[in-house]
Structure 1
Amino acid sequence: MKFHPILSEQPLPARFNNPFDYEPDALCRAAVKQLQADLPIEPIEGKMYGVLIVERNGEIGYLQAYSGQIADEGEDFVPAVFDYLQPNGYFKIHEAEITQLNQKIAQLKVSTAYRQAQENQKKIQQEAEKAIDEARRVMQGAKFLRDKRRKEAFISEAERNEMTRQSQFLKAELQRKKKAYAEQITAAQTVMNRYQEQITAWKRERKMKSDRLQRWLFSQFSLLNACEERKNLLDIFRDYYLQNSPARTKAAHITSVNTAERAAKESLAASLLPPSGAGECCEPKLLQYAFLHGYKPISMAMFWWGPSPKTEIRQHGNYYPACNGKCKPILEWMLEGIDVDDKDCNRTDNKTELALSERLQILYEDDYLAVVVKPSGLLSVPGKGNQASIYSILCERWKGKSDAFMVHRLDMATSGLLVVARTSEVHKALQAQFIRRTVKKKYVALLPLSIIEKQLPAEGRIELPLSPDPDDRPRQRVDRTNGKPAITEYRLIGKTTYGKETLKAVKIALYPLTGRTHQLRVHCAHPDGLGTPIIGDNLYGQRAERLWLHAAHLEFTHPITQERMSFDTPL
């Protein structure tokens, strides 16, 4: 049964919650609790699940889904928007063709003939280098002896001519060897080229088939919105990208025959395609089923169940927003016609912003720089909206006297010390200190008591390379292939209390040796780091009244006075 009745006296939300920024309501929590009771307690693989509270004919209940697609979806979960896993269906047939090409490439690369050709080419190359080097040594040795003979005594004309003939012979011998081996190398390379051309042809065919199949698949995902309109994934993403990406919009209007511009226009076609896996997340599956069967969406929530993936950070049982890369274009389309709550849980209102601005503490200020304590919830630099920031506050404070130059930044949710330059020269000098890593920084964070159970060393070093998550910015992921180096040293301080309710936590000191986005947050949360998210981390853990991460110590050299300056501020 896809529809699951739910008994609750809780009032229905007035507006549909924003899937990208929400706190689960009581109905969603009740539905999630019922769903989790039927899930494996310790699944082998983790998966994202979702519930959608719906109403039809006065009856309240929920639909449930999981991200991805498997052959046996089960009666209790909504089906895929488009089932492409039918054994004899179009997708599986053409997928088999692509698999066959992969097998051909793999088989050729391990074939005896291919390996012999590789070894023969390598062998001839090595023989050529050895023989030519030997010929050069003989030629140099003979020259050394001739030069020595010339210095020893009178040389007859006959001997001089013999020396010349020897030199010419050895030079000619070297050229003959080079030519002979060049012919052998060319012959061996020709054999290898035949294999490489075959592999390249198969790869080209594979890409063509893969692109064609991907486009076909996206065209089959026909998604409804609340206005009973339909669009496939190709059109949804194309329209969204052209509306929200200036670069793509500019490329779309190129009419020039200029080679470079035509290449840009051709690459645009690929950039307008949906990402792989689009349309298979919980949210579009739930809404599609609701629209098809006459259910009115009330609210939704998604949660992770099971172990975290190797690269992303997912905490068992935690709620998560919809991803930006795959879901934002789709949900903007599907939720047309629905009154969606536009409240931003992470954004402070004007009254709070004013209070934060007034609370800005300036620890040091002269004609060249200032050191301030940024409160949690205040931006370092202006964002998309007209929100207050450290930059805007200081620009107003120094109006008519100097400008504000941000040397470094803190996340909006992070509090603590910032140094701000008042001239471009001081800004460059301070940035140079950050680049040379002569600036000393210490952060203090609060972690749940569960970290004690992990029995980690009291001090340690975390090295996990990071890169942006292309499907869910601004989240970062551990990327051991293409990520940038990220190094953090830590020291456990001890138990402490926090918040109005004097909750218990473990205080930890964090020393970033690199400055990657969300470095400390990811290094704390990832299983290969501390495996424990910072309290209040809404991206990598659970939301709380604030993110308990604070830049507590900052030390640098004043660019003008050359004085070593040190500042501390408690969490």
Structure 2
Amino acid sequence: MLKTYFQPFKTDISDIPLPDKFTFPFYYEPHELSILAAKELQKYLTSQTDFEHNFGLQENQTGLVIGKMFGVLVCQDKEENLGYLWAFSGKLAENNHLNYFVPPVFDMLQQDGFFKKEEEVLNAINQEIESLKKDNNYLLTKEHWATTQKKATEDLQNQKERIKQLKIARDVKRQNFPTNASPTEIEAFEYELSEESKKESILLKKMTKYWNYQLENAKKEMQVFSDKITELKELRKQKSGELQQQLFKQYAFLNQNKKLKSIGAIFDNNPPAGSGECAAPKLLQYAFENDLTPIAMAEFWWGQSPKSEVRKHQQFYPACRSKCEPILEHMLEGVIMDDNPFLENPAEGKEIEIVFEDEYLAVINKPAEFLSVPGKNVKDSVFQRVKELYPEASGPLIVHRLDMSTSGLLLIAKSEAIYKELQSQFIKRTVQKRYVALLDGMVASDEGYIDLPLRVDLDNRPNQLVCYEYGKPAQTKYKVIERKEGKTRIHFFPISGRTHQLRVHASHISGLNCPIIGDDLYGIKEKRLYLHAEEITFNHPITKQNVTVFKPANF
């Protein structure tokens, strides 16, 4: 079996040195060996006839398009022979097992496995529930119950209305009763009215008792079916829970010390859907099971981009955070990896520049790869720096933010009152901002408008998704400045201010489909992100004059 999955390089790799450390899976530039392994996998995908899957790469292709994340793991066997493993995330061509690709950690599709057997039991329960819901006798009892409820409500309401009207009539009679009547006549008159009132009240009680009896019988008829449906639903819930716990135990992940840890233990019995099905855990699991030493790893997208995410054909991507990070933390325990860049201070050795300042506010130029506010692991930020610059300043200081990777102009308020005034302008969208960016590709139209609502990718923070159901409105105007050598220099005028708005609007297939150069989330990493907030116009809270500050990009 080992020969099927562990493949030698078809390219001469004798001159390529091995990396000193294993790949940090959540932020990396693929090693040369990983790139070669990926190219050999991509060559196979282009020419293979082993399976059929609609990646959406053929012209005029119809049907459901499903792009796929693939992974490669460069590793050594016990004899130090170098080779690689391949894997795909989830299923491929509706299969878990395909030639050359490592198997899943646990195969839910195995026909004689417990999952399929229990799935059949659950399906049978579901069918019985649906059959009962459609049973003609059940539908008749439901209809009888509803009709009885309606008749009871109407009948009792009519009697209550009758009592009300008779009371009004009695009051009229009292008003018209002769004032010179004798005490005996008055007593007889009041007795007659009282008896009439009692009679109607007694009738209402009898009617209520009658309808309660009718409703009780109707409910009992219906409950014969509804109780059975509830009982089956409880059984389904119990069976489903037992199956889930059994799955949690079966999904157990190895590390280099052969230590197993179940997905239930890793996620405290609440794993996100699809956990353990990504390429990275599959690759490492197979390597550790077969005494292969991991050397380097990379994952790439193959196929059309999904409608929500930004995924480019053949482009490398890091492992997802929500589903993979807790699993890989266990699997890579003790493996010497590249440094975690999220623990490093990207602002080290960089300075902020004051572009405009008076006694009330300032506008600073933030360098690229510099946090606007303190992060989870790194506290150095514009906020920390301006606190040191203006120790007497009160209030939040930072009026708005820029992505860490974006350079450009930021407004600083020196007091809480000024902060609130400027914040109000941002909320009312009276502040005008202009960004300049360099895009990887040729934008066809000279100017335009992008309207793609955004929300955070819950499985892969801080990435954003285009989502028309739950996304927040995000609009951007743009104007092309120059097209040259396959690149487009462009001005962006954001109307809203969502996280990563310009980056997603530039890169997404429904936006400009041209990522910003250097975008390590939605494009290809370079020495920096070529996005700069170069101009801002606001109304000065004290002078009430419009202020425009400009700082050109250095790219």
TM-score with structure 1 length normalisation? Answer: 0.77
1:232 to 238, 261, 276: 261
In structure 2, the residue matched to 1:507 is 490
Query: Do the aligned residues in 2 keep the contact of 1:54 with 1:298 (CA within 8 Å)?
Result: yes
Change (3 A) 1:365 1:132: farther
1:458 to 437, 448, 451: 448
Bigger Cα displacement from structure 2, 395-404 vs 173-182: 173-182
Q: Per-residue displacement from partner, 1:413-466 (whole Å, max 9, x unpaired)?
A: 2233433333344444544554555655555555443553xx79933533x352
- Residue 116 of structure 2 is aligned to residue 92 of structure 1: yes
Query: Do the aligned residues in 2 keep the contact of 1:554 with 1:566 (CA within 8 Å)?
Result: yes
Give the distance between the partners of 1:178 and 1:313, measured in 2 at CA: 64
- 1:510 Cα deviation from its structure 2 partner: 4.5
Give the distance between the partners of 1:233 and 1:480, measured in 2 at CA: 36
Equivalent pairs: percent with the same residue?
38
Amino acid at match of 2:39: K
- Residue 23 of structure 2 is aligned to residue 17 of structure 1: yes
2:133 to 99, 109, 121: 109
Give the distance between the partners of 1:480 and 1:190, measured in 2 at CA: 46
Q: Which has the higher helix share?
A: 1
Query: Do the aligned residues in 2 keep the contact of 1:4 with 1:62 (CA within 8 Å)?
Result: yes
- 1:380 Cα deviation from its structure 2 partner: 0.7
Query: Do the aligned residues in 2 keep the contact of 1:236 with 1:333 (CA within 8 Å)?
Result: no
Query: Do the aligned residues in 1 keep the contact of 2:141 with 2:222 (CA within 8 Å)?
Result: yes
Q: Per-residue displacement from partner, 1:185-207 (whole Å, max 9, x unpaired)?
A: 55555555555544443333333
Change (3 A) 1:99 1:24: same
- 1:121 Cα deviation from its structure 2 partner: 4.2
1:90-489 alignment, distance < 5 Å: 90-127=114-151, 184=214, 188=218, 195-226=225-256, 228-234=257-263, 237=266, 271-344=268-341, 349=346, 353-355=348-350, 357-358=351-352, 360-367=353-360, 369-402=361-394, 404-435=396-427, 445-449=437-441, 451-452=443-444, 458-462=448-452, 464=453, 466=455, 468-479=456-467, 483=470, 485-489=471-475
Give the distance between the partners of 1:565 and 1:139, measured in 2 at CA: 75
1:2 to 1, 5, 10: 5
Query: Do the aligned residues in 2 keep the contact of 1:533 with 1:541 (CA within 8 Å)?
Result: yes
Query: Do the aligned residues in 1 keep the contact of 2:275 with 2:323 (CA within 8 Å)?
Result: yes
- 1:66 Cα deviation from its structure 2 partner: 0.8
Bigger Cα displacement from structure 2, 11-20 vs 402-411: 402-411
Bigger Cα displacement from structure 2, 329-338 vs 307-316: 307-316
Aligned partner of residue 81 in structure 1, secondary structure:
coil
- 1:39 Cα deviation from its structure 2 partner: 1.4
Query: Do the aligned residues in 1 keep the contact of 2:393 with 2:415 (CA within 8 Å)?
Result: no
- Residue 25 of structure 2 is aligned to residue 37 of structure 1: no
Bigger Cα displacement from structure 2, 90-99 vs 534-543: 534-543
Give the distance between the partners of 1:63 and 1:516, measured in 2 at CA: 39
Give the distance between the partners of 1:145 and 1:562, measured in 2 at CA: 72
In structure 2, the residue matched to 1:253 is none
Give the distance between the partners of 1:183 and 1:530, measured in 2 at CA: 69
Give the distance between the partners of 2:40 and 2:522, measured in 1 at CA: 25
Give the distance between the partners of 2:274 and 2:175, measured in 1 at CA: 80
1:545 to 495, 515, 527: 527
Aligned partner of residue 349 in structure 2, secondary structure:
helix
Query: Do the aligned residues in 2 keep the contact of 1:47 with 1:67 (CA within 8 Å)?
Result: yes
Change (3 A) 1:93 1:434: same
Aligned partner of residue 458 in structure 1, secondary structure:
strand
Give the distance between the partners of 2:537 and 2:148, measured in 1 at CA: 60
In structure 1, the residue matched to 2:59 is none
Give the distance between the partners of 2:45 and 2:314, measured in 1 at CA: 11
Which structure 1 segments of 5+ residues have no match?
239-270
- 1:45 Cα deviation from its structure 2 partner: 1.6
Aligned partner of residue 201 in structure 1, secondary structure:
helix
Tell me the C-alpha RMSD between the 2 structures.
3.9
Which structure 2 segments of 5+ residues have no match?
48-53, 56-64
Change (3 A) 1:125 1:307: farther
Query: Do the aligned residues in 2 keep the contact of 1:53 with 1:298 (CA within 8 Å)?
Result: yes
Amino acid at match of 1:306: G
Give the distance between the partners of 1:565 and 1:182, measured in 2 at CA: 76
Change (3 A) 1:349 1:440: closer
Query: Do the aligned residues in 2 keep the contact of 1:465 with 1:478 (CA within 8 Å)?
Result: yes
- 1:297 Cα deviation from its structure 2 partner: 1.7
Q: Per-residue displacement from partner, 1:257-286 (whole Å, max 9, x unpaired)?
A: xxxxxxxxxxxxxx4543333322211221
In structure 2, the residue matched to 1:517 is 499
Amino acid at match of 2:29: E
Amino acid at match of 1:414: T
Amino acid at match of 1:209: K
Bigger Cα displacement from structure 2, 212-221 vs 388-397: 212-221
Give the distance between the partners of 1:139 and 1:527, measured in 2 at CA: 70
Give the distance between the partners of 2:172 and 2:543, measured in 1 at CA: 66
In structure 2, the residue matched to 1:257 is none
- 1:65 Cα deviation from its structure 2 partner: 0.9
| Count of matched residue positions in the alignment of Structure 1 and Structure 2 | 523
Aligned partner of residue 260 in structure 2, secondary structure:
strand
Amino acid at match of 2:366: K
Which of the pair has more CA radius of gyration? Answer: 2
Give the distance between the partners of 1:166 and 1:28, measured in 2 at CA: 96
